Amino acid sequence: MEPATDEGPPQFSRYLRTRERGAWTAVFHELHPEAWFVPTGSWRTLQASTDALPPLVASELRHRGLLISSSEQDDIALDATEAELARRLDRASVLYLVLVQGCNFACSYCPIPELGRETGNAMMSADTARAGVDMWERHIHDDDAPDAEYAAILYGGEPLLNEPALRAAVDRIENRQAAGTLPADRLSIMVCTNGVLIDRKLARFFADHNVSVAVGCDGPAEVHDAIRRDTDGNDTYAQVETAIRTLVEEGVTTFASASITPHNLSAIDHFSSFFAGLGVAKFGFNFLRGKLLFRLVPCEDLERYYEAATEGVLNNFDNFDGQHLEYQLERKHLALLERRYFPTDCNGYGNQLVIEPNGQIGNCPFIRGNMANVRDAPGDFRIREDPTVQHWRGRLPLYNSECAPCDAKSICGAGCAWNALELQGDPLALDDAMCLLTRKVFDRLIWSDRPTEAADDVW
Domains of the chain, by residue range, sit at 11-83, 91-355
Query: What mean pLDDT, rounded, does the chain reach?
Result: 91
Pick the CATH number of 91-355 from 3.40.50.10470, 3.20.20.70, 3.40.50.2000, 3.40.50.720: 3.20.20.70
Q: How many CB atoms lie within 10 A of CB 146?
A: 6
Amino acid 112: pLDDT = 76
Helix, coil or strand: residue 105: strand
Q: 26-30, 51-55, 354-358, 372-376 — which is least confidently predicted?
A: 51-55
Q: 45-54, 73-82, 191-200, 289-298 — which is least confidently predicted?
A: 45-54
When pLDDT is cut at 50, 70 and 90, the band that residue 7 belongs to is low
Q: Cβ(288)–Cβ(110) under 8 Å?
A: no
Q: Per-residue pLDDT averaged across 430-454, rounded?
A: 84
Per-residue pLDDT reduced to its tens digit, 355-390: 999 999 999 998 888 899 999 999 999 999 999 999
Q: 165-169, 254-258, 363-367, 449-453 — which is least confidently predicted?
A: 449-453
The Cα 395–Cα 89 span in angstroms is: 13
Amino acid 234: pLDDT = 94
Amino acid 452: pLDDT = 61
Amino acid 324: pLDDT = 74
Q: Per-residue pLDDT averaged across 5-24, rounded?
A: 86
Per-residue pLDDT reduced to its tens digit, 183-238: 999 999 999 999 999 999 999 999 999 999 999 999 999 999 999 999 999 999 99
Q: Per-residue pLDDT averaged across 329-343, rounded?
A: 83
When pLDDT is cut at 50, 70 and 90, the band that residue 2 belongs to is very low
Per-position b or e across 209-237, b if 16+ CB within 10 A of its CB = eebbbbbbbbbbeebbbbbbbbeeeeebb
The Cα 233–Cα 225 span in angstroms is: 10
pLDDT of residue 455 exceeding 60, the answer is no
The Cα 41–Cα 24 span in angstroms is: 8
DSSP codes, 254-315? EEEEEEE-TTTTTTGGGHHHHHHHHT-SEEEEEE--SGGGGGTS-GGGHHHHHHHHHHHHHH
Amino acid 321: pLDDT = 76
Q: Per-residue pLDDT averaged across 251-260, rounded?
A: 97
Q: For residue 166, what are the contacts with CB-CB under 8 A and spacing of at least 6? A: 99, 129, 154, 159, 160, 191
Per-residue pLDDT reduced to its tens digit, 72-89: 999 999 999 999 999 999
pLDDT of residue 96 exceeding 60, the answer is yes
pLDDT of residue 451 exceeding 80, the answer is no
Cross-strand partners of 68: 11
Amino acid 5: pLDDT = 46
pLDDT exceeding 70 applies to what percent of the chain? 95
CA neighbor of 286 nearest in space, from 258, 314, 254: 258
Amino acid 456: pLDDT = 46
Residue, of 342 and 38, whose pLDDT is higher: 38
Roughly how many angstroms between the first and final C-alpha of the chain, as a whole number? 27
When pLDDT is cut at 50, 70 and 90, the band that residue 119 belongs to is low
pTM for this one?
0.90
